[in-house]
Amino acid sequence: MIPPGEGRGGGAPLEKPSAVLLVKPGIVAAVTLAGFAGMVLARRALPDPGTALVTLACLLGAAGGSAALNTVLDEEMDGKMPRLSRRVAALRAFGRGKVAVAAVAAIAASLALSAYRLNPAVCLLLAAAAAGYALLYTVVWKRRSPYGTILGAVPGALPVLIGYASMNPRLGIDGVILFLFLLLWQPPHFWALALRHQEEYRAAGVPVLPVAFGESYTLVLIFLYAAALLPLSLSLWALGGLSPFFGGSSFLLGAVFLGVYYRDTVATRRYGRAFAASIVYLALVMLALLADIFLF
């Protein structure tokens, strides 16, 4: 790997490594949106600004710290995957030790702030999410089982409950359903990425589902999970007290999502587009939820 700042064959210098890459901004953004949706769902209104800001700060600190710690622990593995070369270069430029210390400090600060300003339920859920992602998923599940993604979806879905608990420590059925929605959304989202980059995962020794069992089996599980999202989102309308606006929106979004996923995986095998479509689908469902609560 060419050191940061040196050009290739006398060309232009490489871009300066960015610390933002170490905290996986896409994951942090998804965590923030999920946590905010949980807060709004619990209050059925715009949450108190002070509590909301503290909750989002705790989520950002814990999620960013966990992602950075994941980057440190996965350095050797990520170094074998060309698509992650910029992240590895950034880690080596800032130093593994410094990044690890900053990551642990961010998680600890988030836990301390949640214990002081919020409530024990939020603190406990934050700790579970950070430990589940940075340690259990990264060190154990991801490395040992093709189904590690399924278990790893739990810490990824906990931000919904963290946001909900910051407003109402007594969890309602609506919060549970939204948590389950996030839980089931993550595996097909990741498996589309794994299908696209399966050769890199194979070279890195990561036993993702396509590497362990092949594309056909992976596609079957993708559609089982993706198909379950539609009735689950509709149950949020039927059981969670939302209006027909959300019911109609979730049905339309779910039907389009399944059609796009079939086209981009089975029909054309454009796995990168399927991966992007799942992100758009999640964002639109969350926005429909927020619009329903604010407008109806």
Nearest to 152 by CA among 160, 162, 142: 142
Q: Rounded to an integer, what distance in angstroms lies between the CA atom of residue 131 and that of residue 136?
A: 7
Which string of DSSP letters, residue by residue, matches 247-277? HHHHHHHHHHHHHHHHIIIIIS--HHHHHHH
Q: What is the DSSP letter of 265?
A: I
pLDDT in tens, 50-104: 999 999 999 999 999 999 999 999 999 999 999 999 999 999 999 999 999 999 9
Q: Rounded to an integer, what distance in angstroms lies between the CA atom of residue 15 and that of residue 261?
A: 35
In this prediction, residue 15 carries a pLDDT of 64
**What is the value of pTM for the model shown?**
0.92
Domain annotation for the chain: domains and CATH numbers? 18-170 (1.10.357.140), 172-296 (1.20.120)
Q: Rounded to an integer, what distance in angstroms lies between the CA atom of residue 122 and that of residue 142?
A: 26
Residues in the chain with pLDDT values less than 50: 1-14
Full 3-state SS string of 120-170: HHHHHHHHHHHHHHHHHHHHHHHHHCCCHHHHHHHHHHHHHHHHHHHHCCC
Residue partners of 38: CB distance under 8 A and separation at least 6: 159, 160, 161, 162, 163, 164, 165, 166, 167, 175, 178
> Three-class SS of residue 80?
coil
> Which phi and psi (to 5°) does residue 247 adopt?
-60, -50
Q: Tokens 């960015």 identify what position?
A: 18
In this prediction, residue 230 carries a pLDDT of 96
CA distances from 89 to 55, 79, 129, 167 (A): 32, 9, 27, 40
Q: Rounded to an integer, what distance in angstroms lies between the CA atom of residue 14 and that of residue 32?
A: 31
In this prediction, residue 241 carries a pLDDT of 85
